[in-house]
Amino acid sequence: MYEATQKISKEHREFLKKVKRKEIAIKITQISLLIAFFALWEIAGRLKLIDPFLFSQPSRMIKTIINLSKDGSLFTHIWVTLSETLIGFALGTFSGIVIAVLLWWSDFASKVAEPYLIVLNSLPKIALGPIFIVWMGNGEAPIITMGLAISLIVTIISLETGFKQVDEDKIKLLKTFGATKFQILTKCILPASIPTIMSAIKINMGLSWVGVITGEFLVSKAGLGYLIVYGGQVFKLDIVMTSVLILSILAALMYVLLVYIEKKIIKWQ
């Protein structure tokens, strides 16, 4: 796989062009589908094929966004949900990594923890929501805890598995150099697990959104989850639809950002 410096042949140029054309076609189709979806939604609403009161409508959603932006409350809601998600995600991922490292370090602890992890993993964490609320009050704490709890156990389990899959011979190699256990961890186990960690991070991001929104459904005074529940209760579907749309855009942006960071970190692939 040396750098190919020879001139590109005509045949190869044709091939590249074909690949490029296909890529462009895919992109155009994707964007058209999106535009068509919103256009049809709008038209169906205007022609009263669907009831805008129940289904909302792109134009009404734009109006809602403008209205909610006027007093700045939209940004407060977005910020509340975003910050809760990021904090819950960061705490869940970080403590997950730390615990996985500890379990890697002590085989005894790992064996002891195994059945508990299995049970906790199969428990739907949402069920713990009311308990968190009772314990922590109705502020942001129980919501952040939901965002944390939902990603913690999967992180521990997937990282511990990842750590164990690192090639034994790589560790043997380090031992021939006289490496300590700590050096084996930092020079080999952790860097070798970066792809595993990155994929856990991507999954956790998604899970933390779920945890936080559910938390906000249960108890909250602000946030997109609050807006959705509030809009539903007062039958303002415009607010609900708008919040869902904003939520999906935020989640997608976050994912794109993570993929970008992943590419920057894993530069050897």
Q: 141 or 194: whose CB is closer to other proteins? A: 194
- By beta-carbon proximity to other proteins, the closer residue of 95 and 110 is 110
Nearer to other proteins, 4 or 47 (CB): 4
Closer to other proteins at the Cβ: 11 or 177?
A: 177
Q: How far is the CB of 172 from other proteins (least distance, A)?
A: 7
If the CB atoms of residues 139 and 191 are measured against other proteins, the closer one turns out to be 191
Cβ–Cβ under 8 Å, residues 238 and 56: yes
Least Å distance, CB 194 to other proteins, is 7
Q: Which is nearer to other proteins, 9 or 176 (CB)?
A: 176
SS in 3 state form for the chain?
Answer: CCCCCCCCCHHHHHHHHHHHHHHHHHHHHHHHHHHHHHHHHHHHHHCCCCCHHHHCCHHHHHHHHHHHHHCCHHHHHHHHHHHHHHHHHHHHHHHHHHHHHHHHHCHHHHHHHHHHHHHHHHCCHHHHHHHHHHHHCCCCHHHHHHHHHHHHHHHHHHHHHHHHCCCHHHHHHHHHCCCCHHHHHHHHHHHHCHHHHHHHHHHHHHHHHHHHHHHHHHCCCCCHHHHHHHHHHCCCHHHHHHHHHHHHHHHHHHHHHHHHHHHHHCCCC
Least distance in angstroms from the C-beta of 179 to other proteins: 5
Say how far residue 93 (Cα) sits from the centre of its chain: 11
- Cβ of residue 191: shortest distance to other proteins, in angstroms? 5
Smallest distance, other proteins to C-beta of residue 104, A = 18
The binding site for other proteins (CB under 8 A) comprises 1, 167, 169-170, 172-179, 183, 187-188, 191-192, 194, 266-269
Q: Considering beta carbons, is residue 11 or 169 the nearer one to other proteins? A: 169
Q: Could you give the C-alpha distances from 242 to 16, 207, 264, in angstroms and in order? A: 41, 21, 33
In the complex, minimum distance from the CB of residue 3 to other proteins, in angstroms, rounded to a whole number = 9
CB of 192 to other proteins, least distance (A): 7
